[in-house]
Structure 1
Amino acid sequence: MKRTLNGHSDAVLSVTISPDDKILASSSGDKTIRLWDIKTWQQCYILTEHLGAVNTVAISPNSQTLISGSTDATIKLWNLRTGKLLSTLTGHSTAVLSVAISPDGKTLASTSRDGIIKLWNFHTGELLQTLSGCSPVAFSSDGKTLVSGGNAGSIKVWSQVQSFDKFTLDPVLSGEWWEVLGVNQSDRPKDVKLAYLRLARLYHPDVNSYTIAKASM
C-alpha cells in the first residue's frame, strides 16, 4: 500500500482518475465529491452541491469535466480544474447509480435504480434516448457499443445504428422474453406486467416515433 487518503465521513462509493493522470476524484455517501492532486495527494476541492449520496463519478476524455450521479436523481457536470458546477441534468426519477462517457466525449450514458438508461448529448445536455437496462454502463473503445447490466444475471449489449444515430439491443444477445423485459422467470405476473408497460413506454409508436423504436418493438 502506497498511501491512505482520509477526508470522507461516509463510505466511498466511486473513484476515478483523469486520463491525464493529474486528478483523482472520489465520491461518497457523505454527499460530497473530493478532488485530489495525484502528485501531492492533497485535496484540491470538496464539491457539495448534491443533496444525496454520490454513487458514481467519471471524467471526460479531455480531462476537463467531471460527471457525477447521485441518489438525489441528478447528474452534475463540473469543471475539473476549478471545481465549479457547470450544469445539472434532470431526467431520472430515482437514484443515479452509474455514468459513462463515450471515448469521443460526445455521449453520456447514465443508469438509475428503476432500470432506466438515458443517453445524453454531453455538450448540450439534450436527452437523446431512453433504454431499459440496469447499472453499470460502459462504452467500447470505439463508442459504438454500450454494455449495461441486466436482471437475472444477464448483461445487455447495445449497438449503435449509424443511420439513426441511436442504440438498439443486439438481437443476437437479446435472449429469452424475461431477459428482454428485465425480469426473472419466477417474478409475479404483476411485476412482469409492469416491466412490459415500461418497455412499451420506451418503444410504442404512440410514445416514441423514431423508426428504430418501432423496429425494436
Structure 2
Amino acid sequence: MAALEVEEELEALKAQLPASSREVTENVSTASETQFTNPEIEPEILAIEPQPPQTWKCTNVLQGHEASVNTITISPDGQTLASGSQDRTVSLWNLKTGKRIFTFFGQAGEVSTVAISPDGKTLVAGGFDNKISSWRIETKELICSFFYLNSPYSHSGFVSSVAFSRERRILASASGDQTIRLWGGYTGEFKRTLNGHSDTIWSIAISPDHQTLVSGSADKTIRIWSLNRLAQPRILSGHSSWVTSVAISADGNTLASGSTDGTIKFWNLHSGELLRTIESQSTEIFAVAMTPNGQILASGSMKEVKLWNIDTGELIQTLPGCSPVVFSPDGQTLLSGGNKGTIKIWSRILGGNEFDSLSSGEWWEVLGVDSDAHPDEVKLAYRRLARQYHPDINRSASAISTMQAINKAYEEFLQKLSKAWL
C-alpha cells in the first residue's frame, strides 16, 4: 500500500512536467523500474546542477531545547559541545554519546552566543539580556557576570558574539550596540571598547596568533582590528548586505565571511585582498565555519547547510540542516542546527557514497526530519531530496541507489502513518 501511494503521488506530479522532460523521465523509468520508484520533480527543478557524491552522514540528532538553537561550540578536546537557545538556556552535551550533561538556567533573554575557553574549563554565554555570564564546566557553578564600568550589563544592546583568544588572555564580545568590548579572559575585568561600526555587529573571530580581531556587521563591512596597539581598523567592503558571520583559518592566513546577500567571500587576512566569492544560491547566509585543515567550509542558512571546497569554490554537498554550524577540532564532525530546537551531528564518511550513508539510517534521518514531523513536512523533505538526487539531474554513479534509499525511507513513513490511522 505504501509503495502504491508513493507511485500515485509521483505520477500525479509527473503530469506537470514539460513533454520533453517526461520523455527523459519515462526512459529512465523504463530502464530501471525494477530498481527504484521514479520520483517526480517539478518543472523548475530541471535547472539544478548535478550534485557530487555525499561524504557526510547524520549520525545523531540531539533533542532537549524547547526552541531554536542559536549557537553551538565544541570544547578544544572535542568531547563536549555547548548550545544556546531561544528557550533562554545553555546546555552541555557529550559529543560522543549525544547525552545532555547539564543545563544552565537563569538567562533573562534568549541566548545568542556561547564559547568554551581554550583550556576547556570555562563556559561563557551572552544574549538578549545584554549580559555575559561564565560558569565552571567541571562544577557547573556560576563564576561571574561581566559588567561594563558601573552598569549592571555587559553591553547596552544584546550580546551577539563572544570569542576567546587562544591563550585565554582576552575574551571579546560584540553587540547590537555597535561596539566590541575586550575583557580579561580569566578575571572578566573590562579592558577597552572598540568603536567604528555603524550598525549591529553580528560576528567576531580572533586570529590563532591572538594579534588580530575580525568583526562582521550589519553595516555591510568587515573590520580588522589589532589587539596589541591602538590603531584604526582596516575596513573590507564587498558585501551588499549584512555580514553575519566571520571565520579565520587555522593557519591564520584566510578570512571567510558570510552575508545575507547570499554570498561567501574569502579574503587574505594580512593584505585584505578578496580572493574568491561563492554564490551560495541560498537567500541568506547566517553562519560559516572552516575545517582545521582549511579544505572545507560549511555555510548555514535557515533552510540548509552547504559544504564547499575552499580551494576551488565547488559545492561538495547540501545537508538538511540549518544555521549555526561548527566543526570539531579534528574536522571529522560537523554540528548544525536542526528542526524544532534540535542539533544535528554529521560525521565524515571516507570513501562513502550516497547509498552507503542514506541507507543506514532511520527513515526520518534519511529524509532529514524529526521522527514526529508533520506529514506535510515529511512530504516536502522527500520532494526536496528527489529534486536533488533524481538521476535526470544528479549524474553521479550512485544516484539511482541513493534514490532507492530515499524512496524506501518515504515508504516506511507512509506505513507508519497508515498504522496510526487504523
TM range (shorter): 0.7 to 0.9
Out of 6, 18, 21, the position equivalent to 2:210 is 21
Partners of 2:202 and 2:357 in 1: CA distance = 30
Deviation at 1:207, TM superposition (A): 3.3
Higher share of residues assigned strand: 1
Specify whether residues 216 and 28 from structure 1 end up closer, same or farther in structure 2 by C-alpha distance, changes over 3 A only: farther
1: distance between equivalents of 2:326 and 2:357?
A: 15
Instruction: Please tell me whether the aligned partners of residues 364 and 371 of structure 2 are also in contact (alpha carbons under 8 angstroms).
Output: no
Aligned equivalent of 1:211, options 398, 409, 418: 398
Corresponding residue for residue 197 of structure 1:
383
Which residue identity does 2:383 align to in structure 1?
A: L
- What is aligned with 1:160? 348
Q: Is 2:351 the partner of 1:142?
A: no
Equivalent residue number for residue 67 of structure 1: 256
Provide the identity percentage.
Answer: 50
Give the Å deviation of 1:170: 11
Kept in 2: contact 1:73–1:96 (CA 8 A): yes
Shift of 1:165: 7.9
8 Å contact from structure 2 (residues 358, 366) kept in 1: no
Amino acid at match of 2:252: S
Give the C-alpha shift of residue 146 in structure 1.
Answer: 1.1
State the match for 2:318 in structure 1. 130
Greater CA deviation, 52-61 or 121-130?
121-130
Structure 2 residue matching 1:95: 3-state secondary structure? coil
CA contact (8 A) 2:223 2:235 kept: yes
Distance 1:116-1:12 versus aligned 2 partners, 3 A rule: same
Which residue of structure 2 aligns with residue 101 of structure 1? 290
Q: Which residue of 1 aligns with 2:268?
A: 79
Q: RCO higher in 1 or 2 (8 Å CA, sep ≥ 6)?
A: 2
Corresponding residue for residue 240 of structure 2:
51
CA distance in structure 2 between the aligned counterparts of 1:59 and 1:98, rounded to whole angstroms: 13
Q: Supply the AA of the counterpart residue of 1:79.
A: N
CA shift, 1:169, in A, is 7.4
Q: CA deviation at 1:185?
A: 4.9
Residue 2 to residue 171, structure 1, CA distance change in 2 (3 Å): farther
CA contact (8 A) 1:23 1:38 kept: yes
Distance (whole Å) between structure 2 residues aligned to residue 171 and residue 110 of structure 1: 25
Shift of the alpha carbon at 1:48?
A: 1.3
Structure whose residues are more often helix by fraction:
2
Aligned 8 A contact 2:367 2:378 in 1: no
Q: Distance in 2 between matches of 1:43 and 1:210?
A: 53
Query: Separation in 2 of the partners of 1:165 and 1:21?
Result: 39
Q: Could you give the per-residue CA deviations for residues 148-198 of structure 1, whole angstroms, max 9, x where no partner exists?
A: 1101111111111111488957966x6x73994446957573x54333322
Q: CA deviation at 1:133?
A: 0.8
CA distance in 1, matches of 2:351, 2:371: 33
- 1:132 and 1:47 map into 2 onto residues whose CA distance is 32
1:86-133 superposed Cα distances (whole Å, 9 cap, x missing partner) = 1101133310111110011111111123x1211111112121111111
**Judging changes above 3 Å, is the alpha-carbon distance between structure 1 residues 53 and 182 closer, same or farther for their aligned structure 2 residues?**
farther
Q: How does 1:22-37 map to 2 (within 5 A)?
A: 22-37=211-226
CA distance in 2, matches of 1:125, 1:152: 31
Assess, with a 3 A threshold, how the Cα gap between structure 1 residues 150 and 179 changes in structure 2: closer, same or farther: farther
Aligned alpha-carbon RMSD (Å): 2.8
TM-fit CA distance, 1:199: 2.6
Q: Which residue of 2 aligns with 1:42?
A: 231
Q: Hey, what's the Cα distance between the residues in 1 that align with 2:347 and 2:359? A: 6
Output the CA distance in 2 between the equivalents of 1:51 and 1:188.
38
Aligned-partner residue type, residue 385 of structure 2? L
SS across alignment from 2:387? helix
AA of the residue aligned to 1:32 = T
Structure 1 segments of 4+ aligned residues over 6 angstroms from their partners: none
Residue 141 of structure 1: CA displacement? 1.4
Residue 177 of structure 1: aligned partner: 364
For 1:118 and 1:67, the matched residues in 2 are separated by 14
Give yes or no for contact 2:359–2:366 (8 Å, CA) kept in 1. Answer: no
| Greater mean alpha carbon deviation, residues 82-91 or residues 205-214 | 205-214
Letter in 1 for 2:364: W
Counterpart of 1:110 in structure 2 is 299
Structure with max Cα Rg: 2
1:3 partner letter: R
Amino acid at match of 2:280: G
